[in-house]
Amino acid sequence: MFHKEGQKILLGSLIGFILIILLANNFVTNEIVRYSIFGACLILFILVAQFFRNPKRGGKHDEHAIVSPVDGKVVAIEEVFEPEFFNDKRLLISVFMSPINVHVTRYPVSGEIVYSKYHPGKYLVAWHPKSSELNERTTVVVKTQKFGDIMFRQIAGALARRIVNYAEKGHEAKQGRDSGFIKFGSRVDVYLPLQTDVKVKIGDKVKGAESLIAEL
């Protein structure tokens, strides 16, 4: 199953690769070169297709748990000052996504969306310490009954050139459902209350809508 954000890109890529193959078949006489072009087009299309895959997840909901919003690796767990919405200290969990990860962003909790904002910015590498402040990003805050306000932030990386955010203020967020998409690599930060019980450690691999990252 492919994400709707990739449909035009996949169709365009398929048409482009077919044209390249047809041209190679008509104008390239060397068989080795011709078959190399065929193979390269096939591999590139598979890589593009796997980037936009969207496995079905998020059927189970737990109001006492916070699940990872994305697939990737936990790269930071620390206490930080959050200046955009909370203006106080929060517990930050950062998940880095490589180009081979699923890039769908999912709601880590259920509740009411009380804040949703897009910020244009730079495209520093996602692990750069200033990327959460300077890069293109979206910030979403969900008000929950058990945890209070939970923030998660999509952050563009060096390869990402478009962040898609479906969260709208006043709408309902459902844990595990799609909340956005980041095209071609990035990271997502989750900001939690300081007393939250973290269930992951740095270096852990997590899956969006499935891996438990924290609970009460």
7, pLDDT greater than 80 = no
Say yes or no: 101 and 138 in one domain.
yes
Amino acid at 10: L
Say yes or no: 201 and 98 in one domain.
yes
pLDDT at site 113: 98
Which residues are marked as active site?
186
Provide the domain limits for residue 18: 4-51
Burial class (CB in 10 A: 0-12, 13-18, 19+), 52: buried
pLDDT at site 159: 63
Which whole number is the average pLDDT over 140-160?
89
129-142: pLDDT as tens digits:
666 777 889 999 99
- 57 found inside a domain: no
How many folded domains does the chain comprise? 2
- In this prediction, residue 38 has a pLDDT band, given cuts at 50, 70 and 90, of very high
| Beta pairing, strands 197-198 & 212-215 | antiparallel
Say yes or no: 46 and 71 in one domain.
no
39-73: pLDDT as tens digits:
999 998 887 777 777 777 766 678 889 999 999 99
Burial class (CB in 10 A: 0-12, 13-18, 19+), 75: middle
pTM for the model stands at: 0.81
161-183: pLDDT as tens digits:
578 899 999 999 999 999 998 87
- 129 found inside a domain: yes
